[in-house]
Structures are given as structure tokens and as C-alpha cells.
Structure 1
Amino acid sequence: MLLGDGSGEILKLCAETFTGKQRGALVVAVPTFEAILLNASANGADVVKVPLTGSFAHDLPKMMAAAKGGLIYVCNPNNPTASITPKDELRDFVEKTPGGTMILVDEAYFHYADSPDYESMIPLVQDHPSLIVSRTFSKIYGMAGLRCGYCVAQKETLERIRPHQMWDSVNIMALAAASASLDDPDQVPNGQRLNNEAKTFTIGELDKMGYKTIPSQANFIMFDCKRPVLPLIKAMKDRNVHVGRLFPPVPNHMRVTIGKKSEMESFLNAFKQVMA
């Protein structure tokens, strides 16, 4: 295991270690979490973007076909769509990907995924030296500002990554908070319960209004507004409700983080006004 200054540092380290003009391209889905794309580009690597499937899963066969060495990045559950790539497909993908290509599975939203079609890839690390799985304390543990994350990989893989990391990148406050969070048996189940309650309420209200949500396995939702979302984002901001930015591959979809139920009621009230 390797600790990082949030899982964002882990993604950056993987891009620096496994992509570049000599090492190979970064292969990603689109849309997905974009930080690692910038990291790979800064490292001189090409970035190959493969659209999600119609069910908003990673198109793993096309991603594998596009990779020649380098790194394949799979965000599962995916950000910004909150969708998952089924466990059987992902497991088969890890088994079949050639050894010269590294795979990074980003499980930042792991704790929110309750679908029977989802499972962590950490158990596969033991038998696959090309597999890296990242996690973060920023989501279910509420530590986004403190910055603490980690990855799980085989020892030889970690030894390739470690030289790219600066000394003492994780601060003592983050380590203390992470330790306290792990010692609290109620932290995760309480967070899951509160998220599920507010998310179920919000999705239900949007459904009554005729707006369909991509099945969410995270602490946010993405739904089709049936019109360009950019003016809606601005109109919501004018009502002091801030939602996610535009994601060009899905220009009619809005990304909304799940907060307290009272906050989601405020979102729904503002959204009704904007769409009237």
C-alpha cells in the first residue's frame, strides 16, 4: 500500500510512472474524472478517449484494443455519471489485459456502491502485477480538504511509483483524521444511510417531474434535463444553488452532489423554478 496526498496524488503518480512518450498513452473513458488526463498530458503522453457504452459503463474491449503499453484508467463508480462497470466484465478485463499495460481502477466512490453487479478489484491485486486500485478518504469519510488517499498494488509496482512521490506528502492532521475515521464503526454506515435517504428522495422527485437519472452508485446523481444544461447551471447559480459544471460529452445532463435532505429540497425548488 502507498499513501498519498488524497487519491489525486496517486493518480498523478501513476500518470508520471506509467505514461509518456516512451512508456505509452493513457486510455480513459469519456466522460470520466479528468485530473489524470491533465497529469498524463503534462508528462508528454497521448490521451486516448473511449466513449462510455449506452449503459454508461466503460467500453472495456475498446479500451483494451486502444492500449499499447501505458496505462488504462477505470473510474468505478464513474465520475461524473455515477454509473458502474459490471464486476464480471471488469474482472475479465483485468485477467485478459496484456502484462505490459498497467490498469488503474479508481474506487473513490466504493463505499456508496450497493449494486450486486459491483465489487472491488483489490482482491485481484495479489495475482496481477499490472493492477493498481486507488481509494480516498475524501468521500464517505468527509476528508476532502485534509487530503488522504492510498493505492493497493504489488510491491514491485509500488517500488516503481514511489520514486516519483515527494517526501512527507501526507500531513499529520490527515493521518490522525484517517486513523480516527477507521476507528469509528458508525462512520461508514451512517454516511451510506444518509446518502441513500437523500438520494432516493431526490431521484423520486425528479422522476415525478419526468427527468430520468442515470442509475447512481455514488454520492451524486446525473440526469437528463432534455435541454442544454449550461444555461440551467447559470440560472441555478443565480438562485444560490451550485450544481456540477458542463461535461461536453453529455451536454444535456446535470451533475448534482447529494447533500442533506433539506439541501436537496432547496435544489429541487430552484430546479422547478428554472424549468418552469
Structure 2
Amino acid sequence: MSKPTWRNEITNIDPYIPGKSIEDVKKEYHLERVLRLASNENPRGASPKAMEAARQSIEDIQYYPETTAKELREGLAHFYHVSSDEIITANGADNILTLLISAYVNEGDEVIYCTPTFPTYRSTTLLMGGVPIEVDLTADWCFNLDTIYEQITLDTKMIFICNPNNPTGTIVSTEQLLAFLDKVPDHVQVVLDEAYIEYVEDNDYMNGIDLFKKSYPIITVRTFSKYYGLAGLRVGYAVAPKEKLEPVLRIREPFATNRTAIHAAIAAINDQAFAKSHLLENKREKVYLCKELKALGYEVIESHTNFLFVYLNMDSVSLFKGLLPHGIIIRPATPWGYPNHARITIGTREQNQLLVELLSSIRAETSTY
């Protein structure tokens, strides 16, 4: 058999394992309704204004979008009080992350992050011939900035801080973050992955854009997929000094954000009333779901997101499979190396109640054997 002609680096990359799709579960179990509480999607959906903007944009889909997503960048710049030249958009936050690593990491460069976390940091670093340096989270499941700092060498090129972290839902304090950034050497680029930052409830918490405006030379990555409910349109963006975005612009595909996504995202960010109402519902349902899961005997990590990291004290894949015939999808944490944990999206009250009822029933059945 002939040797594969793949790039050597690809053989070291494990394929990404996505959450089970709604379509597959419907077909496999002959169901009309399936709830996916696995991918941290917004259960309320997108703003009606964003949906209307998307519908109207369909009339012009024969035309390429404006290549730099200028109107969206200007809208984000106005919202965050930065320059539009300090923003770049792409096909989701994961695309932004891939572009950043591709633009900055040379063969042999080290990229440091904690684990478990978002897998793109590892896979794209390996693809570029870089060296992933993985650090364990702290005992309370947060990014361990002290140990990350200890791992910095002259070969370190980038550090990724997923904050809040996926899949644990934890954050580092402002004090920890500032102390860390103040001592990181100049040859290291720090990237803050803030896909879930809108769910952090502390109004005094300093996020990546706050730090950027205080002249910290960081790159902040965000998305419209979670808080704004536009996961299906794939809109991600980064905020950083213009010179740090220049190498990314050189390799970014010409039309990285599609026309419908651009118009929906502009409408979404202008409809803060809808977004904030979702935030209030998520806060209320997080309290409810945490309480109910703990009552069932599960351990729940304190979350600053729209999902929960739950210790089940059983094989999470078995529970995942047990819920599928009932039309509920959760995310086993087995791919992260935690077979007894699961990541569960916070749904609506109706969805959360159904999940709790099914979990209670499954636990009762299991205890009878």
C-alpha cells in the first residue's frame, strides 16, 4: 500500500468530534423534536431584527459581500469605542483563531494554553509545525496563569487564554489577568478567547477589549454565535492593534464573512434589548438547573457562561446515549479526557425541566439494578 500524501503534521492531529446533530438524531430515532443542549447555542434564537435583516439580505445573494465587512466593523467599532481598523471579521471565532495561529506560528514555535479547553489551539499549532505546551487547569478548574508563565521560553510565540473557559465555564480574576499581562515578555503574543464573555455578570470585570483600550498589546477574539444566537451564520471577530492584525489580513480569504451574516450581525448588535433579555433568562435558568442537578447528586462547577460542566459519577457517553431516544443531546467530556463529566447547555425552563425529569428517571432505573 502506498504511503499517504498527507502533510506530515496532519497525522498528529486528531479529527474534531462535533456534537451530535439534531438532524441525525431525528432520523435515527424517528423523532419530530430534538433538543440540543450540547453546543451552547442560544435557546431563544437570534433577535427578530437580525432575522429580518438576514431575510432582506437574501435578495442580494448573487453579489459578493464587501470584502472587509466594513459596515459590520464600523458597527462594532462604534459599540466598543475603538477604530474599525482595529477589528477583523471572519467565518466564526474558530476561523479567527486558525488565522491567528497560521499568521504567527513558525515551525518549532511554542504555543501555551491550559487543558481542557477549546481544541483549535492544539490542532492548528500542530498543523503549522508548532509545539503545543499544555498546562493543567487549577484545582478549581480555572486557567493556571502562574504555571503558564513558568512555561514561557525564548521559543514561546503565543499564549491562549480561553476566558471564560470552554468546557469548564470558569474565569480568571481581573487581578490575576493584570498581574500576568504585566510580566509577559514582549516576544510573546497573548490571545484572549472570549467567546462567552457577554455572560460574565460582574460589571467591574475587565475583559479583553477593556484591556486593549488600556494599551495592553493583546488580541481579543469574540463571536456572534453564542450570546447573539447567530451560530448558523458563522460570524467571529478580533479586536487588536492594527499592526497585529496585518499578518492575518494577508492570509484571510477575500470574502471571509458572508453577506447574510454581515447584515444579521449588524442588526443583532444594535438590538441590545433583546440580547440583555436573553442574559436575564440565562442567569435565572442557570440557578434553576444548577439547583436541580445538585439535587440529583451531580457536582456542578460554578459557571460564568451559558453552559454547565457537570461531574456525573458515571460514564458520560452512556448517559448521552440514554438521552438520545428521548430527543435530548448533551456533550460528553470524554474527548477532553474526562469520561465522567458532561457539558450541558442551559436551555429554556421547559427544556431544563424535561432534562431534569429524564435524568431523574434514568438515575432511578440505574439504581434498581
Shift of 1:182: 1.5
Q: Tell me what 2:250 maps to.
A: 163
Q: SS in structure 2 opposite 1:36?
A: helix
Q: SS in structure 2 opposite 1:273?
A: helix
Q: SS in structure 2 opposite 1:70?
A: strand
Matched, 1:82 2:169: yes
Deviations 1:101-130 (A, max 9, x none): 11110111011111468431212224233x
How many residues were matched structurally?
274
Structure 2: distance between partners of 1:151 and 1:135: 6
Matched, 1:21 2:111: no
Structure 2: distance between partners of 1:11 and 1:122: 17
Does the 8 Å contact 1:82/1:220 carry over to 2? yes
Structure 2: distance between partners of 1:135 and 1:128: 17
Structure 2: distance between partners of 1:137 and 1:116: 20
Deviations 1:138-187 (A, max 9, x none): 01110011011111111111112211211111011111001101211312
Would you identify which runs of 4 or more consecutive aligned residues in structure 1 move more than 4 Å?
none
Matched, 1:11 2:87: no
Does the 8 Å contact 2:332/2:341 carry over to 1? no
The structure whose RCO (Cα within 8 Å, separation 6+) is larger is 2
Shift of 1:241: 1.4
Q: 2:357 pairs with 269, 272, 275, which one?
A: 269
Q: 2:129 pairs with 24, 32, 44, which one?
A: 44
- Where do 5+ consecutive residues of structure 1 fail to align? none
Structure 1: distance between partners of 2:137 and 2:205: 17
Q: Tell me what 1:258 maps to.
A: 346
Task: Specify the code of the residue in structure 2 equivalent to 1:65.
Answer: E
Q: SS in structure 1 opposite 2:256?
A: coil
Length-normalised TM-score, structure 2: 0.71
Does the 8 Å contact 2:88/2:239 carry over to 1? yes
Matched, 1:139 2:257: no
Task: Specify the code of the residue in structure 1 equivalent to 2:303.
Answer: S
Does the 8 Å contact 1:30/1:249 carry over to 2? no
Length-normalised TM-score, structure 1: 0.94
Does the 8 Å contact 1:2/1:158 carry over to 2? yes
Task: Specify the code of the residue in structure 2 equivalent to 1:21.
Answer: E
Structure 2: distance between partners of 1:185 and 1:13: 29
Structure 2: distance between partners of 1:187 and 1:19: 39
Task: Specify the code of the residue in structure 2 equivalent to 1:237.
Answer: L
Q: SS in structure 2 opposite 1:186?
A: helix
Percent identity at matched positions? 30
Q: SS in structure 1 opposite 2:332?
A: coil
Q: Tell me what 2:239 maps to.
A: 152
Q: SS in structure 2 opposite 1:145?
A: helix
Structure 2: distance between partners of 1:168 and 1:63: 36
Does the 8 Å contact 1:91/1:121 carry over to 2? no
Does the 8 Å contact 2:163/2:196 carry over to 1? yes
Q: 1:191 pairs with 259, 278, 281, which one?
A: 278
RMSD of equivalent CA atoms: 1.6
- Between structure 1 and structure 2, the one with the greater Rg is 2
- Where do 5+ consecutive residues of structure 2 fail to align? 1-86, 365-369
Q: SS in structure 2 opposite 1:74?
A: strand
Matched, 1:53 2:138: yes
Q: SS in structure 2 opposite 1:150?
A: strand
Change beyond 3 A, Cα 1:263–1:55 = same
Structure 1: distance between partners of 2:279 and 2:289: 15
Task: Specify the code of the residue in structure 2 equivalent to 1:58.
Answer: F
